[in-house]
Chains A and B, each alone.
Chain A
Amino acid sequence: MTAAALDAHEAHDDHGPARGIKRWLFTTNHKDIGTMYLVLSLTMFFIGGTMALVIRSELMAPGLQFVHPEFFNSMTTMHALVMVFGAVMPAFVGLANWMIPMMIGAPDMALPRMNNWSFWILPVAFGILISTLFMPGGGPASGWTMYPPLVLQTGNAFPFLIFSIHLMGLSSIMGAINIIVTILNMRAPEMWLLKMPMFVWTWLITAYLLIAVMPVLAGAVTMLLTDQFFGTSFFLAAGGGDPVMFQHIFWFFGHPEVYIMILPAFGVVSEIIPTFSRKPLFGHDSMVYAASCIAFLSFIVWAHHMFTVGMPLSGQLFFMFATMLIAVPTGVKIFNWVATMWRGSMTFETPMLFSLAFVFLFTIGGFSGLMLAVVPSDIQYHDSYFVVAHFHYVLVPGSVFALFAAAYYWLPKWTGFMYNEAAGKLHFWLSAVFVNVTFFPMHFLGLAGMPRRIPDYSTQFADFNWIASVGAIGFGLSQLIFLYVLLTAKKGAKATDRVWEAPRGLEWTVPSPAPYHTFATPPKLRVAQEAFE
């Protein structure tokens, strides 16, 4: 290499962000990309939330008031797709982008250009998906699970639905590869695998799950596409195919998918509880083993979503026992969090409040999960509001609360200023109350016999539905406080480098706000540890 080329290279290393729109379009910086992921995810959270409010408004009283059944079905379908693929997953990828390099002492993600690409696919994918609502025949209305033959009755939206899912899958796979390569190759010296922070660990496991199952989903929807347009009969009984096979393939993706949405949340909470308990995480290594066990088990429990399709007895028994087993490693995680708090010295800033609510309410979701594992009773819960209550308990006060906790926890590191703590606490208390008002009555509705995905219901279900709808409107409005906190995030006091009293981890050794490039040279782990003592 010539000296001139070297000089140019040196100069390149020093540059700050480009100006204007080009900064965001062409960026390869993990912090910029992380920010874009988080903004996209917040946008999708509000879009998906609006859809939820359409659903809950219609269900507030028996009789049809606002929408037609077709549109209602496309709202439930789109709400799920937007929330799962648009809000929760990109939010965790955004956190991974921002935090993993800073937590392991790496200068950036290992594959920065692919990182840019894997983000910019997403706005296109969701543009396509949301545009289907305006197409002849309406948006997809067969549930996010896309069971054939029903999904094949979708109108013009059908190929666009499939294509947008392909794009989301592509983005997730690239993101996952990037995260794995970064974690395995770019850790600071002396950061052995078992020394990695829990958030990094849970993301490493999640990334492997993503690589394993997103192609399966892509395969399943491609078979739907060829069934519809190219004369195949993978899932069409008339041509010798089997509609149940789709359900098996879908849930082979779908079950690991739910752990993709919860494992990084476990990681976030495992970072925050020790900080505000002023005590190291209890049983770090067993947390790693528990997360790995959960990931492994997630591959052998998929058919518990299908106990009513008519499986052989031996199959049902196997999937029941395997599903019950998940309670063991999940229990270990919850006990370890409680043991971390035990004899700590706790304070209750907003991130801690959200993490504590996570532990409480995720456990309630875990309990209903255990109930759902028991096949005879599951047959009664299946496709009823009991299931709706269950998965919203693990996803809203589970994943989403962990995301709020993470946002409040790391926001000062991102912006360099303390957010409005009073508004944060108000956001927490309103969210925590309304989330229960919304989803707890759904348990009763399910047990009383109300099926899910219906736009109208018999009058005996009216009272609990009304309560749930009031809760949902309250929960939705409370999220505007979060928006307010973000918009005023730079109005607070200047944040110190360490931000909180007792966090540990390399991200707290860099200045607040984190400079555009961090860890151009790898940090010394031991020096950082000593500085914290």
Chain B
Amino acid sequence: MSRGVTELSAATHDLHMMVFWWCVAIGVVVFGVMIFSLLKHRKSAGAKPASFSHSTAAEVIWTAIPVVILLLMAVPAAETLIRIEDSRDPDMSVIVTAYQWKWHYKYQDEGVEFYSSLALPSIEARSKQSGIDPFSVDNYLLDVDRPLVVPKGKKVRLLLTSNDVVHSWWVPQLAIKKDAIPGVVNEAWFRATETGTYRGQCAELCGKDHGYMPIVVEVVEPDTYQAWIQTQTDDKARLARVEN
């Protein structure tokens, strides 16, 4: 699992590694005993079977020790979860609406909105017998025409819903996976600590093109973000004039 670029993605990664190492430790002990027994207590090595069939002391011990280990895992897990669920006081909010098979982003206060779909080079290469080698396409299936742009260091709240079926907005490096469900508005938030381009995909089976609705988030410096929002608003104004 990637450490990601938010405080919570780092915390999640640490939890993941902690539980993993506990599993390794338990595995070494259990498999160690088992392998020792397999080598030593085999008939071909002349082992004579013992006849014991229970030991209350042993059973109490191997019930109690796992309980203690579980408590050691449960406490930090609960602490991190409480932080994940605290989406209060965001700096900005983006309404994410899922469609079969693209995403729609609407910056709640800025009035900027657009669809984000699979980028053209991937579309050309994806069809059966397209003759285009996927390895020749940059970020094959993980690139979009218009990425979501957000400022670094700001608490960005996502409000997720869906227009048709259940989808799920997943960007591993932001440690966010949240379902977009029709009739429901779900919340998720992140505060990216590094600028960069982060890619993800829809994670909940949503029909035939489920594999073809990627997510790209560009985290930029706050100034760059302001400038970007400005061009979007200008574009919109220009478009409105053309239409009139």
Taking CB atoms, residues of chain A closer than 8 Å to B130 are 63-64
Question: Which residue of A is nearest B8, CB measured?
Answer: A376
Whether A191 is near chain B, meaning CB under 8 Å from some CB there, is: no
Q: Which residue of the partner chain, among B20, B54, B73, B168, contacts A283 with CB atoms under 8 Å?
A: B54
Interface contact A279-B42, CB-CB below 8 Å: no
Taking CB atoms, residues of chain A closer than 8 Å to B125 are 63
Interface contact A455-B81, CB-CB below 8 Å: no
Taking CB atoms, residues of chain B closer than 8 Å to A497 are none
A376 touching B127 in the complex, CB below 8 Å, given contacts A320-B74, A457-B211, A458-B141: no
Q: Which of A278, A376, A455 has the most CB of B within 10 A?
A: A376
- Per the bound structure, the CA–CA distance linking A150 and B133 in Å amounts to 31
Question: Which residue of B is nearest A150, CB measured?
Answer: B165
Interface size classification for chain A: 35 or more
Taking CB atoms, residues of chain B closer than 8 Å to A379 are 12, 84, 175-177
Interface contact B62-A331, CB-CB below 8 Å: yes
Q: Which residue of the partner chain, among B53, B73, B170, contacts A324 with CB atoms under 8 Å?
A: B73
Taking CB atoms, residues of chain B closer than 8 Å to A454 are 201, 210-211
Number of B residues whose C-beta is below 8 Å from A? 93
Whether B58 is near chain A, meaning CB under 8 Å from some CB there, is: yes
Whether B172 is near chain A, meaning CB under 8 Å from some CB there, is: yes
A345 touching B184 in the complex, CB below 8 Å, given contacts A308-B178, A324-B70, A360-B31: no
Taking CB atoms, residues of chain A closer than 8 Å to B206 are 150
**B63-113: which residues lie under 8 A (CB-CB) from chain A?**
63, 66-67, 70, 73-74, 77-78, 80-82, 84-85
Task: Give the distance to chain B from A346, nearest Cβ to Cβ, in Å.
Answer: 5
Interface digits, B222-234 against A, CB 8 Å rule (1 contact, 0 not)?
Answer: 0000000000000
- Per the bound structure, the CA–CA distance linking A451 and B179 in Å amounts to 13
Whether B196 is near chain A, meaning CB under 8 Å from some CB there, is: no
Interface digits, A431-453 against B, CB 8 Å rule (1 contact, 0 not)?
Answer: 00000000000000001110111
Interface contact B177-A449, CB-CB below 8 Å: no
Question: Which residue of B is nearest A309, CB measured?
Answer: B179
Interface contact B30-A149, CB-CB below 8 Å: no
- Per the bound structure, the CA–CA distance linking A70 and B127 in Å amounts to 13
Taking CB atoms, residues of chain B closer than 8 Å to A62 are 134-135, 140-141
Whether A459 is near chain B, meaning CB under 8 Å from some CB there, is: yes
Whether A474 is near chain B, meaning CB under 8 Å from some CB there, is: no
Q: Which residue of the partner chain, among B52, B53, B128, B170, contacts A64 with CB atoms under 8 Å?
A: B128
A371 touching B23 in the complex, CB below 8 Å, given contacts A282-B53, A328-B66: yes
Question: Which residue of B is nearest A372, CB measured?
Answer: B19
A375 touching B1 in the complex, CB below 8 Å, given contacts A63-B134, A324-B73, A327-B70: no
- Per the bound structure, the CA–CA distance linking A279 and B41 in Å amounts to 11
- Per the bound structure, the CA–CA distance linking A277 and B40 in Å amounts to 12
List the count of A-B residue pairs having beta carbons below 8 Å apart. Answer: 276
Q: Which residue of the partner chain, among B8, B134, B175, B177, contacts A459 with CB atoms under 8 Å?
A: B134
Taking CB atoms, residues of chain B closer than 8 Å to A309 are 179, 181, 186
Interface contact B33-A342, CB-CB below 8 Å: yes
Whether B51 is near chain A, meaning CB under 8 Å from some CB there, is: yes
Q: Which of B137, B141, B186, B202 has the most CB of A within 10 A?
A: B141
Task: Give the distance to chain A from B117, nearest Cβ to Cβ, in Å.
Answer: 16
Taking CB atoms, residues of chain B closer than 8 Å to A451 are 170, 201-203, 210-211
Taking CB atoms, residues of chain A closer than 8 Å to B178 are 308, 310
Taking CB atoms, residues of chain A closer than 8 Å to B132 are 63
A147 touching B166 in the complex, CB below 8 Å, given contacts A343-B50, A377-B15: yes
Q: Which residue of the partner chain, among B52, B128, B168, contacts A65 with CB atoms under 8 Å?
A: B128
Task: Give the distance to chain B from A41, nearest Cβ to Cβ, in Å.
Answer: 27
Whether B142 is near chain A, meaning CB under 8 Å from some CB there, is: yes
Whether B197 is near chain A, meaning CB under 8 Å from some CB there, is: no
- Per the bound structure, the CA–CA distance linking A368 and B157 in Å amounts to 31
Taking CB atoms, residues of chain A closer than 8 Å to B120 are none
Whether A281 is near chain B, meaning CB under 8 Å from some CB there, is: yes
Interface contact A370-B77, CB-CB below 8 Å: no
Task: Give the distance to chain B from A78, nearest Cβ to Cβ, in Å.
Answer: 14
Interface digits, A303-315 against B, CB 8 Å rule (1 contact, 0 not)?
Answer: 0000011100100
Known: A376-B11, A456-B211. 17 other contacts (CB 8 A): A63-B134, A64-B126, A73-B210, A147-B205, A237-B184, A244-B181, A320-B74, A320-B78, A327-B66, A328-B70, A345-B48, A356-B38, A370-B22, A377-B16, A451-B211, A454-B210, A456-B141
User: Could you list 28 examples of A-B contacts with CB < 8 Å?
Assistant: A62-B141, A68-B208, A69-B211, A150-B207, A153-B207, A238-B183, A241-B183, A243-B166, A281-B53, A282-B54, A310-B179, A320-B81, A321-B74, A324-B70, A332-B63, A338-B30, A342-B33, A345-B48, A346-B43, A348-B42, A356-B38, A363-B27, A367-B26, A374-B73, A376-B84, A447-B1, A453-B205, A457-B211
